[in-house]
Amino acid sequence: MSDVGNRLDHFPTPAAMRKVIDNPADDLKVFITSRESRCDECKQDLGRHAWIRLEGAGRAVCLACADLAHLVFLPSGDAALTRRARKHARLSAVVLKWSQARKRYERQGLLVEEDALDRAEQECAADAATREARRASAAQRRAELDQEYVVRFAARVRELYPSCPKGRETKIAEHACRKYSGRVGRSGAAKALDENAIRLAVVAHIRHRETPYDDLLVGGRERGEARTEVSDRVATVLREWTR
Ligand SMILES: [Zn+2]
Distance 138 CA to ligand 1 centre (A): 27
Q: Looking at the domain assignment, is residue 138 inside a domain?
A: no
Q: What percent of the chain has pLDDT over 70?
A: 79
- Tally the residues of the chain: 243
Q: Does residue 175 share a domain with residue 220?
A: yes
Q: Looking at the domain assignment, is residue 108 inside a domain?
A: yes
Domain count, the chain: 2
| One-letter amino acid for residue 145 of the chain | L
Is the alpha carbon torsion for 110, 17, 179, 237 positive or negative?
Answer: negative
Distance 68 CA to ligand 1 centre (A): 11
Predicted pLDDT at 121: 85
Task: Indicate whether 25 pLDDT > 60.
Answer: no
N-to-C CA span, the chain: 47
Task: Indicate whether 227 pLDDT > 90.
Answer: yes
Distance 31 CA to ligand 1 centre (A): 14
Q: Does residue 197 share a domain with residue 116?
A: no
- Top-confidence residue, 14 or 219: 219
Q: pLDDT tens across 47-88, in order?
A: 888 899 988 777 889 988 888 888 889 999 888 899 999 999
Task: Indicate whether 3 pLDDT > 80.
Answer: no
DSSP bridge pairs for 21: none
| Residues 171/147, Cβ–Cβ less than 8 Å | no
Task: Indicate whether 26 pLDDT > 80.
Answer: no
The residue from 130, 160, 176 where one domain ends is 130
Confidence of residue 223 (pLDDT cuts 50, 70, 90): confident
Q: Does residue 126 share a domain with residue 18?
A: yes
Predicted pLDDT at 154: 94
- Top-confidence residue, 165 or 70: 165
Q: Does residue 167 share a domain with residue 99?
A: no
Question: Which range marks the domain in which residue 21 is found?
Answer: 4-130
Q: Does residue 126 share a domain with residue 159?
A: no
What's the average model confidence in pLDDT over 20-48? Answer: 78
Distance 46 CA to ligand 1 centre (A): 9
Confidence of residue 34 (pLDDT cuts 50, 70, 90): confident
Q: How far apart are CA 226 and CA 106, in angstroms?
A: 29
Q: Does residue 183 share a domain with residue 155?
A: yes
| Residues 139/168, Cβ–Cβ less than 8 Å | no
Distance 3 CA to ligand 1 centre (A): 15
Q: Looking at the domain assignment, is residue 135 inside a domain?
A: no
Q: Are strands 28-32 and 92-99 parallel, antiparallel or unpaired?
A: parallel
